[in-house]
Amino acid sequence: MIGTARNGLEVSISGLGCKVPDRVVTNDELRQYVDTTDEWIRERTGIRERRMATQEEALSDISLPACRDALAQAGLEGKDIDLIIVATVTPDMMFPSTAAILADALGATDAAAYDLSAGCTGFMYALAQAYGMLAGGLSKRALVVGGDPLSKILDWEDRSTLVLFGDGAGAVVMEVGPEKGFIGFELGADGGGGASLWLPGSGSRHFDDPDGYVKMNGREVFKFATRVLVQSAQDLLESCGMTIDDVDLYIPHQANVRIIDHATRKLGVPSERVVINVDRYGNTSSGSIPLALADAASDGRLKPGQLVLMTGMGAGLTWGSALIRWTKEMAA
């Protein structure tokens, strides 16, 4: 699916917040659990450390401070929000939705609230959905959250996944007008590749003795990721009548620095325009892109007037890109 934001009301981002758990887990620490080395992890993924939630911390606990910061930056309170979408594959529980839990905690009593599942692409899908509702007049002010305490579903004996992921969440407030923020979206899914990255036994399909842990074919996902990051971005830019030279800031999903480097090279983005924080957080799934946005805001790289290209990819297999003209000065 590809769409340019031409036909509805103007929509922009007015608030941004993020949160990672306090506990830092280094590569060396993971050697207690699996046969790996700091050198292997750095060389093959670019990751130095990640954050991990405690046993007591659930998605809503990590997301709530991010939501509060985003609302404060937008100058709003929970009661002003009429839509909350939480993109995640690790909700507090299957129901009630984490969005409903957050709505209650924030006092967003007038908000429609639901969770959305699109793997690590979830935040991009959620942005597009919220955009559609705002541009179409169904909502006026939306809170979009992307977050995953992914460590909760990792097998601490599987080195092929344990070293890659981390926990974190980010949130944005999206509002109607006055300026044009969102310019277009490109989203897609290839269910045929679903078993390359999946959680068997996590739903109504029967599996014998499911262990409740993420299973991944790393090489297949690597090939998929390098292809879609480039293709999705190129298709979106073309449909919006823009080129990569127009892009001021490129925010790819933070899965692996080798995947990011490949996409950056193929797209022709100068390295100073690329946001990378996978070294500090690992792959935080739906939290990855909002965390990177917040990092770019706090280091002064995200400024009003800039054209920002974001592309996510992940389980499904899914992918999604968004082009946005940043409209607000903000430090996260």
Residue numbers at the binding site for ligand COA (CB under 6 A):
36, 40, 44-45, 120, 159-160, 163-164, 216, 218-219, 221-222, 225, 255-256, 283, 314
Nearer to ligand COA, 139 or 256 (CB): 256
Cβ contacts of 151 within 8 Å, gap of 6 or more: 52, 53, 165, 166, 167
Catalytic residue among 18, 27, 240, 253: 253
Annotated catalytic residue 27: no
CB of 84 to ligand COA, least distance (A): 24
Nearer to ligand COA, 240 or 255 (CB): 255
Annotated catalytic residue 262: no
Q: Which residues pair with 169 in a beta bridge?
A: 19, 147
Nearer to ligand COA, 240 or 293 (CB): 293
Nearer to ligand COA, 78 or 119 (CB): 119
Nearer to ligand COA, 198 or 222 (CB): 222
d(CA 218, CA 164): 10
Q: Would you say 244 and 125 are in contact if contact means Cβ atoms under 8 Å apart?
A: no
Annotated catalytic residue 283: yes
Residue showing the smallest CB distance to ligand COA in the complex: 218
Q: Would you say 175 and 74 are in contact if contact means Cβ atoms under 8 Å apart?
A: yes
CA distances from 76 to 73, 79, 130, 170, 295 (A): 8, 8, 17, 17, 22
Catalytic residue among 27, 256, 277, 283: 283
Cα 1 vs. chain centroid, distance in angstroms? 19
Catalytic residue among 120, 240, 256, 277: 120
Q: How many residues in total does the chain contain?
A: 332
Q: Is 174 exposed, middle or buried (0-12, 13-18, 19+ CB in 10 A)?
A: buried
CB of 73 to ligand COA, least distance (A): 28
CB of 107 to ligand COA, least distance (A): 34
CB of 190 to ligand COA, least distance (A): 13
Q: Using alpha carbons, select from 5, 320, 323 the residue that is nearest to residue 187.
A: 320
CB of 252 to ligand COA, least distance (A): 11
Residues annotated as catalytic (active site), given as ranges: 120, 253, 283
